[in-house]
Amino acid sequence: MEHFMEAKRRIIFPLDFQDLETALSWVELLKEYVGMFKIGLELFVKYGPKAIEEVRKKTDLPIFLDLKLCDIPNTVSQAVKSAKALDVDFITIHTLSGRHALKSAVEAAQEKPKILAVTILTSLDKADLLELGFNGEYIRETEELVLRYALLASQCGCAGVVVSGKEIKRIKENLPKLLTVVPGIRLESQDTQDQLRTATPAEAILSGADYLVIGRPIRLSEEPVKTCNIIIQEIERALGLLRCSKKA
């Protein structure tokens, strides 16, 4: 049971629905099988704080407010203070908002919500970065750019970063205490669709991921609870391998 709870704690389920009732039905269905619920732009833009309030009525699991704030320091700071009043556990700030905005967010949050810095969206590849004006080593090695953003986040006091499964190992080697939240998680048989830098649950955990954002593999399943249990078992096995490697 202890290993089950540890594995399930790693799973973040995104409530990416336009209808609040639908989102709440998923909270009811999965609250015993995931460790956190994520409320993003799709739900928050339509319902605002009500979305958080209604999810809170269904579960006491942590809530991750994923707004990817990117603005001037004062605006970011005030937005984090507003999120703090909503009692959310995590909130995202884009690293492209810069050092001063990241520091302002951390200062406004104090201990809660934990600030997660978004690095490079998992929908972007080298061609996208080139189009956006990046060049040189950052085009050849996306990991270098992500690590640079992670270093900035760490220096500013952020609790963690949002990164793809391809960059976790490098970040953990350099910044072992920085939390890593990994979207773009797919099961072996699934189409990656608009996520380009993806990983399986086991790959991400073995690389050092702390949390996995898993939406479509569960949401599109004919048996979501069964799929959750399969993912939990995969995470359990990966965590077991990590424990064995540390003992060796």
Segment 36-58, tens digit of pLDDT: 999 999 999 999 999 999 999 99
pLDDT at residue 140 greater than cutoff 90: no
**Which range has the worst mean pLDDT, 93-102, 127-136, 184-193?**
184-193
Indicate the pLDDT class of residue 88, thresholds 50, 70 and 90.
Answer: very high
Distance CA 4, CA 41 (A): 30
* Domain spans in the chain, listed from the N-terminal domain onward: 2-247
pTM: 0.91
Q: Which of 185, 184, 163, 183 is nearest to 174 (CA)?
A: 163
CB-CB contact of 39 with 51 (8 Å): yes
At 101, the amino acid letter reads A
- Which positions are annotated as active-site residues? 68
Integer CA distances (angstroms), 101 to 82, 105, 107, 234, in order = 15, 6, 10, 38
Closest CA to 11 of 36, 38, 32: 36
* Tens digits of residue pLDDT in 55-67: 999 999 999 999 9
In CATH, what number does 2-247 get? 3.20.20.70
Would you say residue 101 has pLDDT above 90?
A: yes
Beta bridge partners of 195: none
Cα(53)–Cα(239) distance, integer angstroms: 33
